[in-house]
């Protein structure tokens, strides 16, 4: 038993089954004398339903998982080489692929007995976006070892273009000045307009994608806020009911204490009355004995 194999097994279980299985593995490692392994297993975090659902897709659909990883590699390569045409094509492909894979993951989860709500499905899509953008996330996801949802990503932040590509882009964007401008043949107006139009379309497409992402994020946050409010309301109701139970229990306790005190007092009074009755019986017996002796 090693930590990698245990992780793959545990993260393949439904979230409801995770904790008991993790604790059992940690206990077996302790019994075997491997305290370090036991500590590593005990530290494993229970996955959310979204993380488990995304991982289920990688485990049950390895071909589709490899396809998504390869799409991410192509996107990152196009980003680093600043290949605008390839980026546009691949960006269009990624939205269709992620939507289809998320729906497949939802169906697989339902087959496994785990329902997936709308907010959870959105979180699955967000995880798959991170798989495209981050090679490390992609590796853990494809291996079935994704333990928590990765941080939200926007585009390919932190993935810098290759120096040659960046220099080429800056060279295309730069406008010569002074004497150097006289030596540069001006481009044909139609070619310049075509490039400008392509740039505008690319920017418009990026703006629309950003807007769509912002709207989706806002909807997700609103759903999460509503769900949190519902949980808070339920918790408040439970607390109120518990407080009422505590008050009622306190009243019953006070009543029981009073009844107990009355019972103790009654017991003492009954004891005193019994002693008096016994004394009267003894006194009556002595008198009867005297009368009997005098008659004889």
pLDDT digits (tens, 9 = 90+) for 109-140: 999 999 999 999 999 999 999 998 888 899 98
Residue 253 CA to its chain's centroid (Å): 42
Cα pseudo-dihedral 287, 292, 294, 296, rounded to 10:
-170
Task: Select from 125, 100, 105 the least CA-distant residue to 116.
Answer: 105
The whole-angstrom separation of Cα 141 and Cα 127 is 9
Per residue in 252-279, pLDDT (tens digit) is 777 668 766 776 777 788 788 878 888 8
Per residue in 36-60, pLDDT (tens digit) is 999 999 999 999 999 999 999 999 9
Which stretch of DSSP H or E encloses residue 156? none
Q: Give the relative orientation of helices 84-111 and 118-133 as an angle to the nearest 10 degrees.
A: 140
Q: pTM to 2 decimals?
A: 0.50
């Amino acid at each position: 038993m090693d930590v990698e194999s245990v992780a793959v097994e545990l993260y393949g279980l439904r979230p409801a089954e995770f904790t008991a299985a993790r604790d059992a593995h940690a206990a077996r490692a302790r019994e075997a004398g491997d305290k370090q392994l036991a500590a590593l297993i005990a530290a494993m975090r229970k996955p959310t339903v979204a993380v488990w659902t995304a991982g289920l897709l990688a485990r049950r659909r390895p071909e589709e998982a490899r396809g998504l990883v390869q799409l991410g590699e192509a996107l990152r390569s196009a980003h680093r080489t600043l290949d605008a045409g390839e980026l546009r094509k691949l960006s269009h492909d990624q939205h269709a692929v992620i939507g289809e894979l998320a729906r497949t993951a939802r169906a697989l989860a339902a087959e496994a007995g785990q329902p997936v709500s709308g907010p959870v499905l959105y979180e699955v899509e967000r995880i798959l976006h991170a798989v495209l953008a981050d090679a490390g996330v992609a590796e853990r996801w494809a291996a079935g070892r994704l333990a928590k949802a990765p941080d939200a990503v926007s585009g390919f932040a932190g993935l810098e273009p290759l120096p040659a590509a960046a220099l080429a882009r800056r060279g295309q964007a730069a406008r010569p000045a002074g004497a150097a401008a006289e030596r540069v043949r001006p481009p044909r107006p139609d070619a310049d307009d075509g490039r400008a139009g392509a740039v505008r379309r690319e920017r418009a497409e990026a703006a629309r994608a950003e807007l769509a992402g912002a709207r989706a994020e806002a909807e997700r946050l609103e759903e999460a806020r509503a769900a949190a409010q519902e949980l808070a309301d339920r918790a408040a109701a439970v607390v109120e009911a518990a407080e009422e139970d505590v008050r009622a229990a306190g009243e019953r306790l006070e009543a029981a204490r009073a009844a107990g005190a009355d019972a103790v007092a009654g017991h003492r009074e009954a004891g005193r009355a019994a002693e008096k009755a016994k004394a009267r019986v003894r006194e009556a017996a002595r008198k009867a004995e005297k009368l009997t002796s005098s008659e004889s």
